[in-house]
Amino acid sequence: MSEPVTTTTPLQESVRQQREQLTVLLNQTMRQLAVDCATQLTARTALEQQLQQAMSSMVYCKHLYVLDAAGRQICSNITRDGSDPSQFGRDRADRPYMQEIVGVTDFKLSEAYISRNKRRPSLTAVQVIRNAAGDRIGFLGADYDLRELPGTEALYREPDSWRQIKGDPAIRGGLFAQQRVESRMDRHLDEVLSLLTELILEHGVFHGKLHLSSSRATIWLVDDPWSYRILSIDDLIDPDICLALPRRPYTERSIVPPADLPPLFELMRQLRFADETIYLRSGSINVINGMVSLNFSCDGSHYLRYDDFLQRGLRFWFGEALA
């Protein structure tokens, strides 16, 4: 099998966009505050008063503080509830957010990290403080709790292009020493696939996963999408299971045509039996986002759209000899 080219994932792109929004939100405010603090670095009381006044305009900030040019804190942590002198004199020079800014730029929004004190996902914005001559004389720091920042709640969109993820190297290394062992589901696979098709089309199942080697399935229902149900092989070969699930028309949110379900499951069946060494261990379909997932005996996983899956056919996975 050929491998797709690795590119930036949608999740990484979403993170990048969120960071850009936060940088725009914080950059101008931090720059102006650094200018205001530049003349107060030797007067701790006046500096802390300046920071306390600034907190009203920095809505999401948890802590404000100033460091000298060597990265040592020269004031208390300023919070909305007042000052915390316990951090005065702290050497922050070795913190990741300080390493990222030195010699690079006057403003830097750090990568997310787990805070040392509260153990929470956090960000730190650092702004260089310069004197009138342009010399770097200190740093302004602002800590943010990720849970309280705006613009970080947007849900990224999952890609629908083919993705391959390699699994456990130990399994891949011993691949040719193994052979498929017939499971109970293998012996009843035609019945199982017919029943799962019925559950999707008539009983509100929008996501179904077949664990072919362990003879079970997991299903998600439109009536209760937050939970999944585990069906044993005995459930999957007993049509009476339809009596335990409410009748629901094929969801209107589905992008998979009903007519494509039988050939889709047939192709999964072929991938299970086409080869005794490289074979399908599990496969799933989500009819709402149209994504098929496949996990093979080599522990490699693939994710692709249903129509892409059908178009590639058996030849793509095993070559001409098995097509």
Q: Are 142 and 54 in contact (CB under 8 A)?
A: no
Count other Cβ atoms within 10 Å, centred on residue 90. Answer: 15
Q: What is the pLDDT of residue 148?
A: 73
SS3 annotation, 64-125:
EEEEECCCEECCCEEECCEEEHHHCCCECCCCHHHHCCCCCCCEEECCCEECCCCCCEEEEE
- Residue with the bigger pLDDT between 218 and 301: it is 218
User: How far is Cα 235 from Cα 122, in angstroms, rounded to an integer?
Assistant: 47
Q: What is the pLDDT of residue 321?
A: 35
pLDDT tens profile 257-279: 999 999 999 999 999 998 888 88
Which of these ranges, 105-109, 175-179, 306-310, has the smallest mean pLDDT? 175-179
Burial 66-76 (b: 16+ CB within 10 A, else e): bbeeebebbbb
**Single pTM value for the model:** 0.60
Q: What is the pLDDT of residue 5?
A: 45
Q: What is the pLDDT of residue 1?
A: 47
For the chain, how many residues are written?
323
Say whether pLDDT at 19 is over 60. yes
Over residues 276-293, the mean pLDDT reads: 92
Which element (helix H / strand E) includes 62?
strand 61-68
pLDDT tens profile 52-99: 998 888 877 888 999 999 999 999 999 888 888 998 999 988 887 787
Q: For residue 298, give the nearest of 316, 280, 271, 313 by alpha carbon.
A: 280
Q: What is the pLDDT of residue 122?
A: 81
> Residue 281 contacts by C-beta under 8 Å, 6 or more apart in sequence?
211, 212, 213, 295, 296, 297
pLDDT tens profile 186-239: 999 999 999 999 999 999 999 999 999 999 999 999 999 999 999 999 999 988
Query: In order of start, what are the domains of the chain with their CATH numbers?
Result: 10-148 (3.30.450.20), 163-322 (no CATH)
Which element (helix H / strand E) includes 284?
strand 280-286
Q: For residue 292, give the nearest of 275, 267, 315 by alpha carbon.
A: 267
Q: DSSP letters along 208-250, please?
A: EEEETTTTEEEEEETTEEEEEEEEEHHHHT-GGGGGGS--BPP
Over residues 145-163, the mean pLDDT reads: 60
Q: What is the pLDDT of residue 151?
A: 54
Return the axis-axis angle of helices 44-54 and 10-37, rounded to nearest 10°.
Answer: 130
Which of these ranges, 22-26, 232-236, 299-303, has the smallest mean pLDDT? 22-26
User: How far is Cα 309 from Cα 286, in angstroms, rounded to an integer?
Assistant: 13
- Residue with the bigger pLDDT between 47 and 177: it is 47
pLDDT tens profile 4-13: 444 555 556 6
Q: For the chain, give the percent of residues with pLDDT over 70.
A: 82
